[in-house]
Chains A and B, each alone.
Chain A
Amino acid sequence: MKAIETINLSFTYPDGTKALENVNLTIEKGEKVAILGPNGAGKSTLIYHFNGLLMPTSGKVKVLGREVSKENIDFIRQKVGLVFQNPDDQVFAPTVFQDVAFGPINLGLPEDEVKRRVKWALEVMELNEVEDKPPHRLSHGQKKRVAIAGVLAMHPEIIALDEPTANLDPKAVSKILELLLKLNKELNVTLIIATHDVDFVPLCSDKVCILNRGELILEGSPGEVFSNTEKLRRMDLRLPRIGHLFEILKVRDNLPIENPLPLTIGEARREIHRLIKHKASIK
């Protein structure tokens, strides 16, 4: 089933800035999709459409088969959770518990159900210990997890995250990654991740969409997309470091690297093992 579908989606800001142009994108349920693009490419604008925060200037956005409109906005906002780049913009309540309860309360759920959901969301995001703390006492990584817990408590089928790794230290990044993958695998949450963190993309996604100047340029698995090295570099993007290394090994050092280039440590390890065996077999 299609989680999200955009049909000829265009959006122009009131000041005349064209942010999106004819974007046709399909995201299947349960997929992990990275939307990659340089700053100002329209990534945030695009994901704001998935939740009805912005309405298309022309074209359509469909969520779980229903067109986003003013009439079904409550349904859309329950189904699509939006996690903003800066958790301070999102986490507004005086305690973590109250912030996570905000969404469920807006859904009109009874009190004990709200409590149950908050406890559950905090447990999934591994935040039980900070439940009663004020947000300004948390680390940036923890605040980010609170922001995710806040949408998770609404039981969304889709979670769209804007730059989830921005301003996080390496440990916090791997924690967020671990939790996001858990959400996708165990709860079958469709993940949409808008980012320019190229190294994060092959780890967090099984599909990559490249957005540049409001247009969808490339779409495919990370392996397919990152084999278009020239196109990416023209758009002020680059390969993941590991992919870049293997590109150099292939092009300059003429090592027999198989297509597509390995992009993660795991893929690189497998490729190196293959190369060693390959060399041994030649000898």
Chain B
Amino acid sequence: MQEHYLELYADHLGDTIIYKLDPRVKLICAITAIIAVLFTPHWQIAMLFLASTLIAVAIYKIPLRLFMRRMLYPTYIIAVISAIQPFTYGATLIYKTPLFSLPIYLEGLHFSFLIFTRCMAAIAVLNLLVITTPVMDIMRALAWFRVPSVLLDTALLMFRYIFVLSDEAERIHRAQEARCGYSQKLSYLRRLRNFGTLFGVLLVRSYERAVKVGNAMISRGYKGERLFVLKEADIPLRHVLYGVVIFTAIILLILIEWILL
């Protein structure tokens, strides 16, 4: 079967420790790192996290293409948000654009760079976690940390049906294309409208499918309790140790940042 671009499963699990590390340890370390990075006032610290992630990618031979491709979409959003910042915030005017005479502020520029590096670092850490951990392992780890089962059930259902939905969208798109729905002869607005129809149809079909899935569940005796039972074995002591080391390293880094910078 064709490799799906949405594929989240870390299927080709390597032998290295980054794959084998207990998912709970990975989860705690990743969340600590993300929180640290999102609250740091220094872009250098964020860059440090980003660089460490990339080094991990290199050392543990994680497919770089896959890693970068997954960084791409969030980068678009972050880029847009960061790009607005220099115009909206600050006091020191450094430049006025010739067109529309928009002001650019120094503080805004700094802030923009900070947000960009922070978000990129956070996403890189999350990306590393997801690439090296199968979804089921992450879910089991979350369940172990007492994340409400409603959230996990919903996430797992989403994970299951996002593939079905994306196939459905592709089929509808192909059907539209086959009848010139996106022909260059059509006006941009017309094409946009066809694209809108695609989403409308998708929405209606999702609803219909939800009803069908619900019926199928009821017919197997479902009465509304939690869907998936996620259980986890004990964490190997060695892994706890690794976890403590990484966790302490991150905390130390934050403390040094507070004291020195």
A33 at the interface (CB under 8 A from B): no
In terms of DSSP, what is the predominant structure of the interface of chain A? helix
Residues of A within 8 A of B1 (CB): 137, 139
In the complex where A84-B212, A89-B209, A105-B229 touch, is A134 in contact with B9 (Cβ < 8 A)? yes
In terms of DSSP, what is the predominant structure of the interface of chain B? helix
On whether the beta carbons of B216 and A95 are closer than 8 Å, the reply is no
Q: Which residue of A lies closest to B155 (CB)?
A: A94
Neighbour of A94 across the interface among B4, B160, B220, B223, CB < 8 A: B160
A154 at the interface (CB under 8 A from B): yes
On whether the beta carbons of B164 and A77 are closer than 8 Å, the reply is no
- Can you name 19 extra interface pairs (CB under 8 A) apart from A88-B209, A98-B228, A102-B222? A51-B219, A53-B219, A77-B218, A77-B220, A77-B221, A82-B216, A84-B215, A84-B216, A88-B164, A89-B215, A90-B216, A92-B213, A94-B156, A94-B159, A102-B217, A106-B223, A107-B221, A151-B220, A154-B220
Residues of A within 8 A of B164 (CB): 88, 136
On whether the beta carbons of B163 and A154 are closer than 8 Å, the reply is no
Tell me the minimal C-beta distance from B220 to chain A in angstroms. Answer: 4
A93 at the interface (CB under 8 A from B): yes
Tell me the minimal C-beta distance from B163 to chain A in angstroms. Answer: 4
Residues of A within 8 A of B136 (CB): 94-95
0/1 string, B4-32, CB within 8 A of A gives 1? 10000100000000000000000000000
- Ordered by A's residue number, 6 sampled pairs between the chains whose C-beta atoms are within 8 Å are A51-B219, A82-B216, A92-B157, A135-B160, A136-B164, A150-B220
On whether the beta carbons of B218 and A53 are closer than 8 Å, the reply is yes
Q: Which residues of chain A in 53-97 are interfacial with respect to chain B, using CB atoms and an 8 Å cutoff? A: 53, 74, 77-78, 81-82, 84, 86, 88-90, 92-95
Q: Which residue of A lies closest to B156 (CB)?
A: A94
On whether the beta carbons of B160 and A82 are closer than 8 Å, the reply is no
Tell me the minimal C-beta distance from A184 to chain B in angstroms. Answer: 20
Interface residue tally on A, bucketed by range: 20 to 34
A82 to B215, CA, bound (A): 10
A245 to B189, CA, bound (A): 55
On whether the beta carbons of A93 and B216 are closer than 8 Å, the reply is no
B135 at the interface (CB under 8 A from A): yes
B198 at the interface (CB under 8 A from A): no
A262 at the interface (CB under 8 A from B): no
A84 to B221, CA, bound (A): 15
Q: Which residue of B lies closest to A103 (CB)?
A: B220
In the complex where A94-B156, A102-B227, A105-B229 touch, is A89 in contact with B216 (Cβ < 8 A)? yes
Q: Which residue of A lies closest to B216 (CB)?
A: A90
**7 tightest Cβ-Cβ pairs between the two chains A and B:** A106-B221, A136-B163, A89-B212, A90-B216, A103-B220, A82-B219, A94-B156
Binding site for A on B (CB under 8 A): 1, 4, 9, 135-136, 139, 156-157, 159-161, 163-164, 209, 212-213, 215-223, 227-229
In the complex where A88-B164, A106-B222, A134-B9 touch, is A93 in contact with B156 (Cβ < 8 A)? yes
On whether the beta carbons of B9 and A77 are closer than 8 Å, the reply is no
Neighbour of B212 across the interface among A86, A93, A98, A135, CB < 8 A: A86
Residues of B within 8 A of A102 (CB): 217, 220, 222, 227
Residues of B within 8 A of A154 (CB): 220-221
Tell me the minimal C-beta distance from B11 to chain A in angstroms. Answer: 9
Residues of B within 8 A of A151 (CB): 220
Which of B136, B213, B221, B227 has its CB near the most chain A CB atoms (within 10 A)? B221
Residues of B within 8 A of A139 (CB): 1
In the complex where A78-B221, A103-B221, A150-B220 touch, is A93 in contact with B160 (Cβ < 8 A)? yes
0/1 string, A86-123, CB within 8 A of B gives 1? 10111011110010011101110000000000000000
Which of A81, A86, A88, A95 has its CB near the most chain B CB atoms (within 10 A)? A88
A151 to B216, CA, bound (A): 10
Residues of A within 8 A of B156 (CB): 93-94
On whether the beta carbons of A53 and B215 are closer than 8 Å, the reply is yes
Tell me the minimal C-beta distance from A67 to chain B in angstroms. Answer: 18
Residues of B within 8 A of A92 (CB): 157, 160-161, 213, 216-217
Neighbour of B228 across the interface among A78, A93, A103, A136, CB < 8 A: A93
Q: Which residue of B lies closest to A89 (CB)?
A: B212
Residues of A within 8 A of B217 (CB): 92, 102
Q: Which residue of A lies closest to B228 (CB)?
A: A98
A154 to B221, CA, bound (A): 9
In the complex where A98-B228, A134-B9, A136-B164 touch, is A90 in contact with B213 (Cβ < 8 A)? yes
